[in-house]
Structure formats: C-alpha cells, structure tokens
Amino acid sequence: MPAARVLVLFAHPALQKSRVNRRLAAAAAAVPGVTLHDLYETYPDFHLDVAREQALLVAHDAVVFQHPFYWYSSPALLKEWQDLVLEPGFAYGPGGDRLRGKRFLSAITTGGGAAAYTHGGHNRFTIGELLAPFEQTAHLCGMVWQEPFVVHGATRLEDETELSRHAAAYAARLAAL
C-alpha cells in the first residue's frame, strides 16, 4: 500500500529561536508521503490563499497541526488558517464533506512539563482537555481524531539524544497515519 499523503500544517512564528519544532519539522519532511507546509514562511503577512489551502487539504489523506503550545492553543496564524480555510460548504455544514474521513493529528510542544498538565498541577487541566477545541473542530469536519503527539518541557530540552528521540518518535507517528 502506498504511504498515506500527510499534510503537516506547521506554525511557528519565530523559527530561528526554535529548538524542538525545528527538529520535529526536519524529521517530518523526511517521511515519505509527508508535505511539510510552513505557514509563517508562506504567509508572513497573514494573507492566506484559501483556495490553495483547501486544494492542499483535498490532496491529502491526513492533516497534522504542528506548533508550539501558545497560551494553551496555537500561534495566531494557525487560528487565522482555521477561521478562513474551514469554510461552510467545504469543511462542514450542507455539502461540506471535503475533509470527511481524513485522520487529524495535533502535534505540539509545551514549555510546561507533563506533571503541570494534571488536575493538581500548575496548568490545572490535562492536554486532552485543553485540546478539546481542536478535537471538536476535527469532529465537526468529519475528521478522525488521533492521540495527540506531545513533547513536554520543550524549553528545557537541550540534550541532543533526547531531541533525536522525540524527532524519531514524531516521524514514526507520521509514517503510521
């Protein structure tokens, strides 16, 4: 069976400062079938080409949102992407079936450690709970939610072996989509 066509929508507003997402993105780009789409590189002025984005979605079997966790959500351009690209009649609502059946993976890095994302922890909610808007967005569009890929404690991750381990784990998740 040919590899699934996987569209990685990558959003990092300060890639030159990134350690973890930079590594994950490079690993993703090397996986057969993966299209790495760097949104901040493509749309530095936030003027999204909606028709192009929708055509990209239609041409892939799985959709990945890859980004650092910013204020318990995505960086602004990925929110803009959702607001403009997921139109009624395309993504949901009457006739809006173009994303139906595609797998959806949320791939995030967090500054907070795993223990912070517990009910007794610093961030009070689990990652699963905080990603509920993404899960419901995928559901509304008929996409199949996958267990999120999360790298915790990303701001303190410096060890080369650890970085490589996370990059390999991410590549494996993408290859299995």
Residue numbers annotated as active site: 111, 117, 122
Q: Contact with ligand FMN (CB under 6 A): which of 8, 11, 20, 34? A: 20
Residues 58-77 within binding reach of ligand FMN (CB under 6 A): 68-72
Q: Contact with ligand FMN (CB under 6 A): which of 3, 19, 46, 93? A: 19
Written as one string, the DSSP assignment of 72-136 is TB--HHHHHHHHHHS-BTTTBSTT--TTTT-EEEEEEE-SS-GGGGSTTSTT-S-HHHHTHHHHH
Smallest distance from the beta carbon of 112 to ligand FMN, in angstroms?
3
Tokens of 82: 């959702």
| Under rule CB under 6 A, residue 40 binds ligand FMN | no
Smallest distance from the beta carbon of 69 to ligand FMN, in angstroms?
4
Q: Which helix (DSSP H) or strand (DSSP E) does residue 28 occupy?
A: helix 20-29
Give the binding site for ligand FMN (CB under 6 A). 12, 18-21, 68-72, 109-112, 154-155
